[in-house]
A and B are shown apart, each in its own frame.
Chain A
Amino acid sequence: MRGDELIDERIDAALLSYAEPKEMPETRVVVARLLARVESESQMRRVRWWGFALAASCLLVALVVGSWILRGLRVPEIAWAPSAPGVVSALGSDEERVGASHPARAKSGRAQDGAPGVRVASEQWGARLPKMDVFPTPRPLTAEERGLVAFASEASPELKKQVVEAERHMGDPITIAELKIAPLASGVVQDSKDPERDKEK
């Protein structure tokens, strides 16, 4: 029994030295090293975060710009374009406008040659006139319009009535009275009512 105790004592003594590291780095050195590593890791994390934020914002800007461009390329659907004087359509002539707005025409055009209405609208999209404050956009009167205004303000009611009456019959068919020419009688001198001429004869 004494031998076992002796052995246990030896084991305990050996265990103490076994668990004791031969060399150990100084605590303050380790603390400084750990804090430096922690700081560098924090910086790396910050750099990664900023990189991610930059990439995300670039992606967001690209998405916004892309959607804006796609929206700009979309063809505006105009069902009816007013033809009041002074209004200028962005689609140009009536024929092109009808091509862009008329469903049947646009549909057949798409089936035949790749949507001419859409093409017309797309081509003229960039040449759109600036939007004015007053609708319809005012423009100077033509000479005919000025004359009409002067007539309406200065002419007498009788004259206006005559003009209206004349205009009312302007569409009537023109009738020409039948010409009646009497045939000349041979050897007979007709009496003239002109005495001067008779004298000369």
Chain B
Amino acid sequence: MRPEDEAEFAGLVERQWRFAYRVAWAVLRNRADAEDAAQETFLKIFRARAWRGLRDEKAFVARAAWRASVDRLRDSPSRRTPLRGQGGTDIELEDIADRASGPEEIAAAANWEAVVHRLIDSLPEELRQPLALSVDLNSREIAAAMGVPEGTVRTRLMRARAMLREKITAMEERRYAGR
């Protein structure tokens, strides 16, 4: 490896490592797996000698990181098991309540983030992944990374938010009804 190539590649890793890791984390939700997937992303880029002359570096890395993460997820589906309710249905408020001390305690502690995290985890993968990626990428970039049309991404984002809203509303109604 020539010194100038090494410096160029090191520069790319320094610029995009955090972003690649965040994409992998959004898909895999596991520190070790995300780190491996992010490293694999850059190794693939290096092997393909693809880091030179990138027009949209961020989109390229996002695509490569998402691909590496999904491959890792596909190789071992048990790596990330989304929370499921009884009988394979999406997680319900009772499932959360069973794992915590109770809805009241969660609400009292204002630990809404934890509740919403669990609700997001309970979403189907096709909805959860674009929602998690929407923090760092816009719809066009998510579409490019996942290889789906941008309209599909927007639809999935709306559906994911609607499902979350519905679940949170139902959870709050039960909470107030219980008082």
Q: Chain A: residues with CB nearer than 8 A to chain B?
A: 3-4, 7-8, 10-11, 13-25, 27-28, 30-31, 33-35, 37-39, 41-42
Is A15's CB under 8 angstroms from B134's CB?
A: yes
Is A10's CB under 8 angstroms from B112's CB?
A: yes
Is A14's CB under 8 angstroms from B120's CB?
A: yes
Is A4's CB under 8 angstroms from B165's CB?
A: yes
- List, in ascending order, chain B residues with CB within 8 A of A34's CB: 9, 13, 39, 42-43, 46
Is A39's CB under 8 angstroms from B21's CB?
A: no
Is B132's CB under 8 angstroms from A19's CB?
A: yes
Q: Chain B: residues with CB nearer than 8 A to chain A?
A: 1, 6, 9-10, 13-14, 17-18, 21-22, 25-26, 31, 34-35, 38-39, 42-43, 46-47, 112-113, 116-117, 120, 131-136, 161, 164-165, 168-169
Q: In the complex the two chains form, what is the Cα distance from A181 to B134 in whole Å?
A: 154
Is A37's CB under 8 angstroms from B135's CB?
A: no
User: Given A19-B132, A31-B14 in contact, is the A37-B120 Cβ separation under 8 Å?
Assistant: no
Is A19's CB under 8 angstroms from B13's CB?
A: no
Is B165's CB under 8 angstroms from A11's CB?
A: yes
- List, in ascending order, chain A residues with CB within 8 A of B135's CB: 15-16, 18-19
Q: In the complex the two chains form, what is the Cα distance from A41 to B9 in whole Å?
A: 15
The 6 closest A-B pairs by CB, nearest first: A14-B116, A19-B135, A21-B25, A14-B113, A31-B13, A27-B17
Q: In the complex the two chains form, what is the Cα distance from A41 to B131 in whole Å?
A: 36
Known: A10-B168, A17-B113. 11 other contacts (CB 8 A): A10-B112, A10-B116, A11-B164, A15-B134, A18-B135, A19-B133, A21-B21, A24-B21, A31-B14, A34-B13, A37-B39
Is A30's CB under 8 angstroms from B13's CB?
A: yes
Is A21's CB under 8 angstroms from B34's CB?
A: yes
Instruction: Among A37, A38, A41, find the residue whose CB has the most chain B CB atoms closer than 10 A.
Output: A38
Is B25's CB under 8 angstroms from A33's CB?
A: no
Q: In the complex the two chains form, what is the Cα distance from A19 to B165 in whole Å?
A: 18
Instruction: Find B13's partner among A4, A15, A22, A27 (CB 8 Å cutoff).
Output: A27
Q: In the complex the two chains form, what is the Cα distance from A33 to B17 in whole Å?
A: 12
- List, in ascending order, chain B residues with CB within 8 A of A20's CB: 22
- List, in ascending order, chain A residues with CB within 8 A of B165's CB: 4, 7-8, 11
- List, in ascending order, chain B residues with CB within 8 A of A41's CB: 43, 47
Q: In the complex the two chains form, what is the Cα distance from A82 to B60 in whole Å?
A: 82
Residue of B nearest to A45 (CB): B47
Report the minimal beta-carbon distance from A76 to chain B, rounded to whole angstroms.
56
Q: In the complex the two chains form, what is the Cα distance from A22 to B34 in whole Å?
A: 12
Residue of B nearest to A12 (CB): B135
Is A30's CB under 8 angstroms from B17's CB?
A: yes
A–B pairs, 11, beta carbons within 8 Å: A7-B169, A13-B113, A14-B120, A18-B116, A18-B132, A19-B132, A21-B31, A27-B13, A30-B13, A34-B13, A38-B46
